[in-house]
Amino acid sequence: MSESPVLTTDHGAVRRITVNRPDKLNALNAATLDALRAAFEAAAAEPAVRCVVLTGAGAKAFVAGADIAEMNTLTPVQGRDFSLRGQKLMRRIEKMPKPVIAMVNGFALGGGLELAMGCHLRIAADTAKVGQPEINLGLIPGFGGTQRLLRLAGRAATLELCLVGTPVDAVRARELGIVNRVVAAAELEAETMKLADQLANSAPLALRGVLDCVNVGGECGIEEGLEYETAQFGLMFSTQDMREGTAAFLERRKPAFSGQ
């Protein structure tokens, strides 16, 4: 097996990025955070890639958390820098111009759940468990967990998960809004790639417009969000994809989007 902490493979227009530290349950150390950021930068810059799937190597874990052995040696200043390193990665994923799906194949704890929450969609195996157990280490979430969990699951669930530190199963995570779908573990890869292919065949500029609108709207007031949506909606009328999509509908055929 490759010693690289991150592997990338292409399946048509879908790029699969895999955290590749199965012997460490894919724990995130500084080198892995940097490799992931580079992988997402490359995916964003590659026109042939229209959707990204993120997962972890092995059958046990998506990402079981940050690397505790590495964190144990950090000074306060180094701890802050480690937090910033992780937050910059999650923000890069969140602001990707292409849809990113987290394929949660096992434990997604601490930094692993924070990594999944940075993605646009999350599909979990029914055997997966998610949580923010940092309290048990005398820590708090440092890669954006308190903020993204609050926005996904609300105040009560965020406080329970972060204060108590007990993970929840995939079904409960779906009920809380942390994951979008739960499927049988044996069907996880097929179902995730099916959704990824669907997104990869959608209109790329419209996908980006939706991602931008949701990102902007989540960080501003309703009036500003509506204004931004209207501007993006109007901009779509300048694209070939909009003409192709509406023409295909009227002609009762499948559209062929070019991303122009």
CATH number at residue 215: 1.10.12
Instruction: Tell me how crowded residue 131 is: count the other CB atoms within 10 A of its CB.
Output: 24
Catalytic residue among 41, 134, 191, 251: 134
Q: Are residues 191 and 211 in the same domain?
A: no
CA-only gyration radius of the chain, Å: 19
Q: Is 160 a residue of the active site?
A: no
**Is position 94 within any domain?**
yes
- The residue length of the chain stands at 260
Q: Please list the residues that pair with 181 across neighbouring strands.
A: 123
Residue 103's pLDDT is: 98
Rounded to whole angstroms, how far apart are CA atoms 16 and 99?
Answer: 12
**Is position 256 within any domain?**
no
**Is position 91 within any domain?**
yes
Q: Are residues 183 and 211 in the same domain?
A: no
Q: Are residues 86 and 171 in the same domain?
A: yes
Q: Which of 182, 200, 218 is the last residue of a domain?
A: 200
Q: Are residues 122 and 223 in the same domain?
A: no
Residue 1's pLDDT is: 44
**Is position 114 within any domain?**
yes
Q: Are residues 129 and 145 in the same domain?
A: yes
For 191-231, give the DSSP string.
Answer: HHHHHHHHHHTS-HHHHHHHHHHHHHHTTS-HHHHHHHHHH
Give me the domain span that covers residue 134. Answer: 6-200
Rounded to whole angstroms, how far apart are CA atoms 82 and 66?
Answer: 10
Q: Take residue 91 and report the two structure tokens written for it.
A: 């923000």
∠ Cα 69 162 185 (to 5°): 75
**Is position 78 within any domain?**
yes
Catalytic residue among 114, 160, 227, 251: 114
Q: Are residues 117 and 166 in the same domain?
A: yes
**Is position 255 within any domain?**
no
Between strands 6-11 and 14-19, the pairing is antiparallel
pLDDT digits (tens, 9 = 90+) for 141-171: 999 999 999 999 999 999 999 999 999 999 9
- CATH code at 130? 3.90.226.10
Q: Are residues 180 and 235 in the same domain?
A: no
Euclidean distance between the first and final Cα of the chain, in Å? 39
37, 89, 220, 249 from 92: Cα distances, Å? 7, 5, 19, 35
Q: Is 134 a residue of the active site?
A: yes
Q: Are residues 126 and 183 in the same domain?
A: yes
Q: Are residues 179 and 118 in the same domain?
A: yes
Q: Are residues 182 and 209 in the same domain?
A: no
Handedness of CA 21, 22, 26, 29 (dihedral sign): negative
Residue 3's pLDDT is: 79
Q: Are residues 63 and 180 in the same domain?
A: yes
103, 122, 181, 230 from 187: Cα distances, Å? 11, 15, 12, 39
Rounded to whole angstroms, how far apart are CA atoms 247 and 133?
Answer: 51
Low-confidence stretches of the chain (pLDDT beneath 70): 1-2
Q: Are residues 221 and 193 in the same domain?
A: no
Total of domains in the chain: 2
**Is position 184 within any domain?**
yes
**Is position 24 within any domain?**
yes
